[in-house]
Every structure is written in structure tokens, then in C-alpha cells.
């Protein structure tokens, strides 16, 4: 890697004291060392900012949503490349190194997908992790979104759509792809430490996300009926159908979560579209 290469790692936070330290430590342990960490916090009431300041001086306060936080962080970034992370993630050692190598090796690449391995302690979190395990070897843009971008690609697509929460990652990846650039994928994963306090909380989150989905579908000229919005239409589940028999309890939990997600986001979608939210 050339010495001038700098990667700006941008993390949006809100009351993330329980997890932010693990993520920041994993960034410091990256095999590629030329990184700057930018934390954009949204009025946390816990020790998130104090913990972040132990790892970086570049801690800001901005809101109201993570799309706005990420765009703000990108404006503060000095790097040639941008990596956007959530506070409940943790990088394996070679993630950044592989992302840069992929962009340099594959011509016309604007964004890179980092495969995710979900980690959870409790049943619903383990069920979510089981779902994500289907995507690990065979992802695709209908399921995954890029997190690592060239700054040029990010800027020419105007960054994250601040009118959207929940599908903003996918929407940006689609905008980069439709601009004529490639979205590629690396092998090294990141860990996503799932937190699902209850099924009600899970439903509330996806209802909220659903409120602005109509904006994404209209902007990207995508049908409401497809694998991007209806998880049961994702071919990977049927290609690996035998796994449901090997893990029957987790399969039931996964089915309940996906049904809840679909129902809650569907209600949100309907209300958002009718009310023009």
C-alpha cells in the first residue's frame, strides 16, 4: 500500500457505551494502520463519548439520524477511503487491508461489501444470527450493502439519503452501482453483536424503518415485491433448505423474526406512503 493512503472509519453512535470499546479496539488492531477514527454521536446520555475519546480526538455531536451522522462524518474525513460502521460491530484483523486491495485489484470498484457474522447471547439474537449465516458465503446486493467506499464514489452519489432510515445502506450501494461503478465483496468478515431485547422491540424497529421504504423504492425504481423487501423470496434460503432440518428450533425463531419484520415494516410502509413521510 502506498504511504499516502488514509482510511477514514466513521462510526455513528447513540448510547453505545456497552459495545463501542470493542469496536474501537478492533480498529486499532487492524493489519492496515493508516486509519483515522471519526465518531459522530447523537446526544448520548451514557459514557459513549468518554470511551470514544480514549481512542480518538475526533468525536463530534450531530443528529438527528444515522444517515445525517454518517454524511457529517464524511465531510470531516481526510481519507481517500471511507468505512462506515455501527457501534455494535467488531472488525476482524484484515478487513481494511482486504477492502483496499480489492478496490485496487478490481477496476472501476466504488464500494466493497464486508460479510457479517452475527453474534448473540439470547434466543432471538441467536435466531437472527442463524438467518445471517445463510448470507455469509452467498450474499448479493439484494441482501447486503457496501460499507467501504472510495471517497470519490461516495461524493458523486451525494452520500446517504437523509430522508431514509433502515434501508439507507442498500440505497447508497444501489446508487453507486447505478452510477457505473462496481460493488465487490471481500472474504474477511466483521462481527455484528446483535441486541434484540424483545419481539415487540424488534417489531417497533422495523415499523420505524418501514416508514421511509417507499422513498427508497421510488428513488431506485424497485418493486415492493422482491428479495430486497420480502426476505422469504431470497433464493439462498431454498438453496440451503437442509439447514432448517439441522437446526429446527433456530429455524422456528428465524421464521417468527422474519414474519414479524415483514409485518411491521409492511405496516410502516403503508402508513409512510399514505402520509407521505
Q: Terminal CA-to-CA distance of the chain, rounded, Å?
A: 45
Residues in Cβ contact with 113 at an 8 Å cutoff, skipping those fewer than 6 apart: 139, 144, 145, 146, 147, 173, 183, 184, 185, 186
Q: Model confidence at 86, in pLDDT bands (50, 70, 90)?
A: very high
Report residue 42 as a C-alpha cell. Answer: 447523537
Confidence of residue 1 (pLDDT cuts 50, 70, 90): very low
Compute the chain's Rg from CA coordinates: 18
Q: Is residue 126 a part of any domain in this protein?
A: yes
Q: Averaged over 106-111, what is the pLDDT?
A: 95
C-alpha closest to that of 118 among 96, 90, 142, 143: 90
Sign of the dihedral defined by the CA atoms of residues 142, 159, 268, 249, in that order:
positive
Sign of CA dihedral 201, 207, 212, 216: positive
CA distance 72 to 148: 16
- State the total domains in the chain: 1
228 is a domain residue:
no
pTM for the complete prediction? 0.93
The answer to whether residue 252 sits within a structural domain is: no
Least confident of 66-75, 117-126, 139-148, 193-202: 139-148
Task: Give tens-digit pLDDT for 167-220.
Answer: 899 999 999 999 999 999 999 999 999 999 999 999 999 999 999 999 988 888
Kindly write down the DSSP assignment for every residue of 223-251, as one continuous string.
-SSSTTT-GGG-HHHHHTTHHHHHSHHHH
206 belongs to a structural domain: no
pLDDT digits (tens, 9 = 90+) for 210-269: 999 999 888 888 887 888 888 888 888 998 899 999 999 999 999 999 999 999 999 999
Query: Is 171 part of any domain?
Result: yes
Q: What is the CATH number of the domain that holds 164?
A: 3.90.550.10
Q: What angle do CA 49, 169, 61 make, to 5 degrees?
A: 20
| 167 vs 148, higher pLDDT | 148
Residue 186 main-chain phi, psi, to 5 deg: -100, 175
Query: Per mean pLDDT, which range of 38-52, 137-151, 205-219 is the poorest?
Result: 137-151
Q: Give the domain extent around 107.
A: 7-196
Does residue 216 lie within any of the structural domains? no
- Is 11 part of any domain? yes
- Residue 162 covered by a domain: yes
Q: Are 13 and 39 spatial neighbours (Cβ–Cβ below 8 Å)? A: yes
- Please state, in angstroms and rounded to a whole number, the distance separating the CA atoms of residues 247 and 249: 6
How many Å apart are CA 221 and CA 213, to the nearest integer? 12
Amino acid at each position: 500500500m502506498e504511504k499516502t493512503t488514509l482510511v477514514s472509519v466513521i462510526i455513528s453512535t447513540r448510547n453505545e457505551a456497552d459495545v463501542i470499546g470493542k469496536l474501537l479496539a478492533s480498529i486499532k488492531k487492524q493489519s492496515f494502520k493508516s486509519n483515522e477514527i471519526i465518531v459522530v454521536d447523537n446526544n448520548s446520555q451514557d459514557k459513549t463519548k468518554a470511551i470514544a475519546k480514549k481512542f480518538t480526538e475526533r468525536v463530534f455531536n450531530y443528529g438527528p439520524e444515522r444517515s445525517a451522522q454518517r454524511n457529517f462524518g464524511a465531510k470531516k474525513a481526510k481519507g481517500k477511503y471511507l468505512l462506515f460502521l455501527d457501534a455494535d460491530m467488531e472488525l476482524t484483523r484484515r478487513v481494511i487491508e482486504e477492502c483496499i486491495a480489492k478496490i485496487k485489484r478490481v477496476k472501476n470498484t466504488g464500494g466493497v461489501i464486508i460479510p457479517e457474522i452475527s453474534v448473540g447471547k439470547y434466543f432471538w439474537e441467536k435466531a437472527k444470527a442463524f438467518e445471517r449465516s445463510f448470507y455469509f458465503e452467498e450474499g448479493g446486493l439484494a441482501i447486503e450493502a457496501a460499507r467501504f467506499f472510495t471517497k470519490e464514489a461516495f461524493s458523486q452519489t451525494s452520500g446517504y439519503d437523509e430522508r431514509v432510515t433502515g434501508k439507507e445502506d442498500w440505497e447508497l450501494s444501489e446508487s453507486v452501482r447505478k452510477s457505473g461503478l462496481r460493488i465487490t465483496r471481500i472474504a474477511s468478515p466483521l462481527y455484528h453483536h446483535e441486541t434484540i431485547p424483545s419481539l415487540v422491540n424488534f417489531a417497533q424497529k422495523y415499523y420505524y424503518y418501514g416508514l421511509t421504504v417507499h422513498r427508497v423504492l421510488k428513488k431506485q425504481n424497485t418493486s415492493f415485491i422482491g428479495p430486497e423487501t420480502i426476505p422469504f423470496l431470497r433464493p439462498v434460503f431454498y438453496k440451503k433448505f437442509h439447514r432448517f432440518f439441522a437446526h429446527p428450533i433456530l429455524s422456528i425463531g428465524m421464521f417468527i423474526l422474519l414474519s414479524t419484520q415483514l409485518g411491521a415494516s409492511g405496516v410502516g410502509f403503508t402508513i409512510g406512503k399514505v402520509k407521505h413521510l
